[in-house]
Amino acid sequence: MQWDDLKIFLALARSESLSGAGRALRLDPATIGRRIARLEATTGAALFLRSAQGYALTEAGARLTAHAERVEREIAHGMSQLTGPGDGLSGQIRIGAPDGCANYLLPQVCADIVRDHPSLDLQIVALPRVFNLSKREADLAIAVTPPTQGRLTVRKITDYSLRLATTQMYLDSAPPLVNAQDLQQHRTVGYIPDMIFDAGLDYASEVGLPSEGVNSNSVLVQMNLLRAGAGIGVVHDFARPSAPELVTVLPDLTLQRAFYLLRHADEAGSARLGQFAELLVAGIRRETHKLEASVAK
């Protein structure tokens, strides 16, 4: 059994579709299908159940997954030993992150990292959901709420603050806003309630904002709604320098959150990912503190 066959098998097991595996490996989906059929013929076992919903692992496929992932880790470990810490990082690393972090922190942080390590191929995936590291949707993920299940290593990156903000244009035409109770008389901007994928993002419940308003599942869209004068919303302090037209309202009402770095437990021994994680954590801390310090509280 060749590593190339196992690599294709793992890609299909994680994506559960020929097209997804093809995108991950930059191969034609038909080629993926042929290679899987050949692998099943070689092993004499059905590795996947095919259905309209995609490809699901059989019991034999699940057993092969454990073996293939061990081979994958050994190859990655062997490759990391070929490059000393002083020789620079290289290869592809995918980071999954909530879009607030992905839009306002990671661009600067990753730009700094690749200047020092130009052979790195960094991918930032900003999706409004929790990333599945077991399916290798990302090599590392950033979360607001640390998970309590799964074979993951969790490391706190940094705390950050959020406050209510809007434009002066909105305030000039809106009812008076003296205390939190007055928020009920205002238009609000926030997350779509049934699309909040992490309890830590449920700002409306904590602040007392009405759930009806102009909402989006994207932090970037929320910011642009606020800048357009659509209402009042919760804004990351580290995002405020990008929107100087926003003003803080009810400044004593401050929310505190934290970012956590997640890695699959099987990758704990990877020197390459470990080195990158150190750079990423240090960069996010530095960028968060710098941006927050520039905001008038």
Q: What is the C-alpha to C-alpha distance for residues 70 and 249, in angstroms, rounded to an integer?
A: 53
In angstroms, the CA 111 to CA 163 distance is 27
How confident is the model over 39-49, as a mean pLDDT?
93
Q: Which two tokens stand for residue 288?
A: 């968060």
Q: Among 221, 255, 254, 227, which residue's Cα sits nearest to residue 243?
A: 227
Q: The whole model's pTM is what?
A: 0.73
Q: Which carries the bigger pLDDT value, residue 263 or residue 133?
A: 263
CB-based burial label for 232 (10 Å; 0-12, 13-18, 19+): buried
> What integer pLDDT is reported at residue 103 of this predicted model?
95
How many whole angstroms separate alpha carbon 40 and alpha carbon 297? 62
pLDDT of residue 195: 87
pLDDT at position 137, please? Answer: 74
Segment among 82-91, 209-218, 243-252 with least mean pLDDT: 82-91
CB 134 within 8 A of CB 66: no
Q: Among 65, 63, 69, which residue's Cα sits nearest to residue 16?
A: 65
Six token digits for residue 166? 């809007």
What is the mean pLDDT of the segment spanning 236-251?
95
Report residue 197's pLDDT band, with 50, 70 and 90 as the boundaries: confident
| Confidence band, pLDDT 50/70/90 cuts, at residue 76 | low
Give tens-digit pLDDT for 47-62.
999 998 899 999 999 8
pLDDT at 86 over 80: no
Residue ranges of domains in the chain, CATH in brackets: 3-82 (1.10.10.10), 89-158+258-293 (3.40.190.10), 160-256 (3.40.190.290)
Q: Which helix (H) or strand (E) holds 29?
A: helix 29-43
pLDDT category at 156 given cuts 50, 70, 90 is very high
Identify the pLDDT of residue 30: 94
Question: 277 pLDDT exceeds 70?
Answer: yes
Q: How far apart are CA 297 and CA 286, in angstroms?
A: 19
> How far are the Cα atoms of 5, 7, 52 from residue 28, in angstroms, in the given order?
15, 15, 19
The pLDDT of residue 130 is: 60
User: How many whole angstroms separate alpha carbon 106 and alpha carbon 247?
Assistant: 24
Question: Are 7 and 25 a contacting pair, CB within 8 Å?
Answer: yes
